[in-house]
């Protein structure tokens, strides 16, 4: 039946791709993606905090876009490609993570995975963001202990690193 996801009485099964792996998870259609990641898949890098989309600690990429996993429901993730902070580091430490380490872009570290995911979404979409664009992209990520100075430096370094990476790629293409 085309207009119905779940036949009455039949448990729902979410099919999607998480950190490049195909997953099939029995859950309620309204289960939050955050719960699936942390409780079902034990991907605890994604943090639980406000539960209402305010703080950004639970940020993940859904089809490359930053989304609060506390707001996204299982049925909305059907067929989607989801990247959590663990997925960002699949090929080893990511240049954005490195920038956060080098610039002291964290203190207690609870907000850091969400911050890194938001920066990744920004730089994947726009490699030369203005200060206003950086501020807007990170406006959904709250840090309660750094005062944002270190985070700002980390993002700026990540932008510079992205620029270098793109230049290297272009050079390799020419060769």
Q: Which stretches of the chain bind other proteins, using CB under 8 A?
A: 2-6, 8-12, 26-30, 51-54, 56, 59, 62, 65-68, 70-73, 75-76, 118, 136-137, 139-141
Strands 13-18 and 59-62: unpaired
Of 66, 87, 84, 73, the residue nearest 136 (C-alpha) = 66
Reduced to 3 states (helix: H, G, I; strand: E, B; else coil), residue 172 is helix
Q: Which is nearer to other proteins, 2 or 91 (CB)?
A: 2
Q: Which is nearer to other proteins, 123 or 137 (CB)?
A: 137
Reduced to 3 states (helix: H, G, I; strand: E, B; else coil), residue 175 is coil
- Minimum CB distance to other proteins, residue 1 (Å): 9
Q: Which is nearer to other proteins, 8 or 22 (CB)?
A: 8
Q: Which is nearer to other proteins, 26 or 104 (CB)?
A: 26
Q: Output the six-digit token pair for 86.
A: 């663990």
Alpha-carbon gap, residue 142 to 114, rounded angstroms = 9
Strands 59-62 and 65-68: antiparallel
- Minimum CB distance to other proteins, residue 102 (Å): 25
- Minimum CB distance to other proteins, residue 157 (Å): 21
Q: Which is nearer to other proteins, 25 or 89 (CB)?
A: 25
- Minimum CB distance to other proteins, residue 131 (Å): 15
- Minimum CB distance to other proteins, residue 6 (Å): 5
Q: Which residue has the tokens 């030369």?
A: 128
Q: Rounded to the nearest 5 degrees, what angle is found at the Cα of 23, between the Cα atoms of 14 and 40? A: 80
Q: Which residue has the tokens 């979410």?
A: 14
């Amino acid at each position: 039946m085309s207009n119905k996801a779940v036949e009455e009485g039949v448990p729902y099964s979410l099919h999607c791709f998480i950190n490049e792996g195909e997953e099939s998870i029995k859950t309620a259609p309204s289960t939050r993606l955050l719960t699936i990641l942390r409780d079902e898949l034990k991907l605890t890098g994604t943090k639980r905090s406000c539960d209402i989309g305010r703080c950004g600690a639970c940020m993940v990429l859904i089809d490359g876009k930053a989304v609060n996993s506390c707001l996204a429901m299982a049925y909305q993730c059907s067929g989607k490609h989801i990247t959590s902070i663990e997925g960002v580091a699949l090929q080893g430490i990511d240049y954005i993570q490195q920038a956060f380490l080098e610039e002291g872009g964290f203190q207690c570290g609870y907000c850091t995975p969400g911050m890194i995911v938001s920066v990744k979404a920004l730089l994947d979409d726009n490699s030369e963001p203005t200060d206003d664009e950086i501020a807007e992209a990170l406006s959904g990520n709250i840090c309660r202990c750094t005062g944002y100075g270190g985070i700002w430096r980390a993002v700026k370094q990540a932008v510079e690193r992205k620029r270098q990476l793109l230049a290297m790629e272009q050079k390799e293409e020419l060769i």
